[in-house]
Amino acid sequence: MHSMNRKKPSAGKGVSYAKWGYLFILPFFIAYICFTLIPQLMTFYNSLFENYRDGLTQVGPNFVGLKNYVKLFSPDNSGTIGMLKYFGNTIVLWLLGAVPQILVALLLAVFFTSYRLNLKGQQFFKTVIYMPNLIMAAAFSMLFFTLFSPVGPVNQVLLSAGWIDKSIDFLALKVPVRLLISLMNFLMWFGNTTILLMAGIQGIDQSMFEAAEIDGASSLQVFFRVTLPLLAPILVYTIITAMIGGLQMFDVPQILTNAKGTPDRTSMTMVMYLNNYLQTSKNYGMAGAVSVVLFIVSAGLSLFVYNSLSRQYSQAPRRRNRL
Amino acid sequence: MKKLIALLLALVMVFALCACGATAPAEKPAEGTPAEGTPAEGTPAEGTPAEGTPAENTPAEAESGEGKVFNIYAWNEEFKGFFEKYYTVPEGVTVNWVITPSDNGAYQQKLDEALLNQANAADDDKVDMFLAEADYILKYVNADATQDITKLGVTDFSNTYAYTVQAASDPDGVVKGVSFQCCPSALIYRRSIAEDVLGTSDPAEVQALLDSWDKFNAVAADAKEKGYYMTASFAETYRVFSNNCTSPWVDADSNLQFDPQIEAWIAQTEDFVNNGYTLTAGVWDQEKNDQMFADGKTMCFFGPAWYFNFCMGNAQDPDKGCSGDWAICEGPAAHFWGGTWLLAPAGTDNPTMLADIMNTFINNEEVCSKLVSDEKQFSNNQKVNAKFAEDPNYGSAFLGGQNDVAVFSAMTDNIVWENHTIYDQLLNEGLQTYLQEYFKGTVDKETALKNFYNYVNETYPAIVTP
């Protein structure tokens, strides 16, 4: 394309459209440099300093090298490395929500796009499953907090049904809290994922499905041999964005556990941990170090997922040829 | 359906615009008024007869050279209500309230930003007065962000309670603010339960039976035997202990330390929880509040005037409550809870009005009387409080006619203000949060303390934890 464009002006007639192309994408790059690249570099720079507020007194910034990182990864007196624990929490919370989210979304997307099922009232269903995403995460968390409190409706129902004889403090137990957080994230995001995947499936040439059917493929075969391989690019995109969103999980656990990550800090995510440093003492050094680690982890995991899934995708056509 | 979605989205956008626009109008009057009212005498002359009220005119005249917008930072609407009722704002001045809830230190963050930016802020954006609670007042009093109010004209502290002045004084004794209320905290008990457990509901007799921790703990066992809880929250007695600490949270080298009083609270709560003398709810939890209904099983609560008048709504509920079945006495140890101080920020452009507000709320007997009689506050004016304490006709219906002002007046002498640090609020909050997990049985004590230390490290890098 470029070479073609460059040749044309030399012929003396055509106009260089490439120049306009660059001009049109310029605003994005300016915005990217100002609002993403520079802050990112500044975060790294800040993470090398001791810089916080003690009451109303500013301490630093004093250059301390990698001391903040060393502190981040040094175990406390019981041998736990906080950073790793909170990273583990984040991954567990994300997986508990994201795996069902993608599976359900995939299933719904296939149902909605299937010309054989030809569901009526699709617009209605699509709107409804997207609805939870329109509610503020904070409001959603407060709702669940109230529902599952020791004197909340859930306990009252269980008590009056006679299933339990003493109210359960759900929010003081590790498994229920984690499940609740995952459930909320699932409810909030599966609609969004469904719509993305539907767009992906609708982008696949209908004749593929028809051809498979004529060849006598069962629905399952169509799904695994036709839909899934052709959907792979969108699926990879969905998984990576969900993963980055999941690693940055904050609002739901923050509100549900009142910023404390209870019980025993097992629902404290990486960003909540970061926020602990930033909130009261404006500790830019430590918060910067956590951000940099978070960035490296996100980038690494994204690359890993992208590579492993794309490879599968590039193998897929070959497999189909063998059919 | 598409139309419906479009309508919904449009509504959301309109709402968002409205929400953003709401703050704007506050600034407008400020621009409008100076044009009309700049000459000092111009404005008051219109309404009032020329000779009549020289005393009232003085503050307004003095104001003319000062800022037109008076910014007050607060964390709730409580003082705003009193201010709007009892303080006459000089003409030409607009009062702008900046209210941020105090949860997780959000109010302090907002306030800190404003105070640190005070020197560069435009006159109309400067903080002119801010409110602070006992738990973090030192952070501001000990900093240069606040100024000496005696230089502004607030000099008469003869009627205020000593601890309220100590709290607002820096280490050199410079006073930087006043409190409009005094908050001695009492033992609030259910008369009917006390009758059952102790055989009496008379405040003096109950006090004699509960005036030390040993007696209190022993009575807890009796209460349990009769099917009652002594307290409804694991942290109910926290303030009673923590206000009597003999050492601050951090020592001179910034090491975190546990005062024997805090250790005693932990030991007592362990005992109470293990024996079922208390519920494990937090101080503000629904589970505790439900105990305030008539069918509640809890005998003792702790709190000042504001607590039983404004936070025990369930007890005051006309259907399920039990107003009148309550009484107060000093309890095992003198203590206070909360209290709102009005502090003078350095660099305010309305010093005269600021001093005038402070004087009104501590020395204007008419206003202080109304705070007691109409607003159910325990005012920070000893003379006014004494008047109500001696009045045989004064009594609180909620407390079955008991004169609460008399009880509180007697308690104030025993309150001490010492061993406080700038970190108190979040250390008290954090300790309670993480130990609650231990008391609920989720984690062992060691883990709970470790989590508390991690929390301290993250929140205050300057503090060294064990």
Q: In the prediction, which pLDDT does A313 show?
A: 58
Of B143, B286, B454, the CB nearest to A56: B143
Residue A154: inside a domain:
yes
Q: Which residues of A touch B109 (CB under 8 A)?
A: 279-280
pLDDT value at residue A114: 82
Q: How far is residue A302 from each of residues A243, A314, B90, measured CA to CA in Å?
A: 8, 18, 62
Answer whether A265's CB lies under 8 Å from B447's CB.
no
* Residue A215, domain member (yes or no): yes
In-domain check, residue A82: yes
How far apart are the C-alpha atoms of B108 and B27, rounded to whole Å?
A: 23
Least confident of B17-21, B82-86, B376-380: B17-21
In a domain, A49, yes or no: no
Phi, psi dihedrals of residue B259, rounded to the nearest 5° = -70, 150
* A63 falls within a domain: no
Residue in chain B nearest A77 by alpha carbon:
B450
- When CB atoms are compared, the residue of B426, B446, B461 closest to A52 is B461
Q: What is the domain partition of chain B in residue ranges?
A: 67-183+336-390, 186-335+412-459
In a domain, A259, yes or no: yes
pLDDT in tens, B237-294: 999 999 888 898 998 888 999 999 999 999 999 999 999 999 988 888 888 999 999 8
**Chain B residues contacting A via beta carbons under 8 Å:** 1-2, 4-5, 12, 103-105, 108-109, 112, 115-116, 139-140, 142-145, 281, 285-287, 290, 422, 426, 433-434, 437, 440, 442-443, 446-447, 450-451, 453-455, 458-462, 466
Share of chain A above pLDDT 90, in %: 35
pLDDT for res B10:
61
Give chain A's domain count: 1
User: Is the sign of the CA dihedral A122, A124, A128, A131 positive or negative?
Assistant: positive
Q: What is the DSSP string of A275-314?
A: HHHHHTT--HHHHHHHHHHHHHHHHHHHHHHHHHHHHHHH
* Mean pLDDT to the nearest integer, A95-110: 92
**Mean pLDDT score, A25-37:** 93
Q: Do domains B67-183+336-390 and B186-335+412-459 have the same CATH topology?
A: yes
Give a yes or no: residue A133 inside a domain.
Answer: yes
Task: Give the Cα separation of B410 and B203 in Å (integer).
Answer: 13
A134 chain-B contacts, CB cut-off 8 A: 12
Range of the domain at A94: 76-322
CA distance B416 to A292: 47
Average pLDDT, chain A: 86
Q: Which CATH architecture has domain B186-335+412-459?
A: 3-Layer(aba) Sandwich (3.40)
Q: Provide φ and ψ at B341, rounded to 5°.
A: -100, 145
d(CA B36, CA B40): 11
Contacts for A255 with CB less than 8 Å, ≥ 6 apart: A137, A138, A141, A142, A145
Q: Has residue A2 been placed in a domain?
A: no
Chain A contacts to B (CB-CB under 8 A): 52-57, 59, 76-78, 80, 82, 123-124, 127, 134, 149-152, 169, 172-174, 258-260, 262-265, 273, 276-277, 279-281, 283, 286
Is it the case that residue B60 has pLDDT exceeding 80? no
Tell me the three-class secondary structure of B350-399, residue by residue.
CHHHHHHHHHHHHHCHHHHHHHHHCCCCCECCHHHHHHHHHCCCCCCCCC
Tokens of B123: 């006159």
CB atoms within 10 A of CB A313: 17
Cβ–Cβ below 8 Å for A264 and B437: yes
DSSP assignment of B219-251 equals HHHHHHHTT-BSEEETTTTHHHHHTT-SS-SB-
Strand partners, B146: B345
Q: How confident is the model at residue B5 (pLDDT cuts 50, 70, 90)?
A: low
| Domain B67-183+336-390 in CATH 3.40.190.10 | yes
* Chain segment B187-227, per-residue pLDDT in tens: 999 999 999 999 998 999 999 999 999 999 999 999 999 99
Q: What is the pLDDT of residues B297-321, one digit of tens each?
A: 999 999 998 898 888 888 888 888 8
**Residue B12 binned pLDDT confidence (cut-offs 50, 70, 90):** low
Quick count: other Cβ atoms within 10 Å of Cβ A278?
A: 18
Q: Is the pLDDT of residue B59 over 50?
A: no
A316: domain CATH number is: 1.10.3720.10
Average pLDDT, chain B: 83
pLDDT at residue A305, as a whole number? 85
The residue count of chain A comes to 323
Whether residue B460 and residue A150 make contact (CB cut-off 8 A), yes or no, is: no
Q: Using CB atoms, pick whichever of A59, A258, A279 lies closest to residue B109.
A: A279
The answer on pLDDT for B121 being more than 90 is no
Task: Provide, as residue numbers in chain A, all residues whose Cβ is less than 8 Å from the Cβ of B2.
Answer: 123
Check B112 against A56: CB less than 8 A apart: yes
Q: Which residues on neighbouring strands pair with residue B340, listed in sequence order?
A: B133
So what's the pLDDT on residue B89? Answer: 86
Q: Is the pLDDT of residue B108 over 90?
A: no
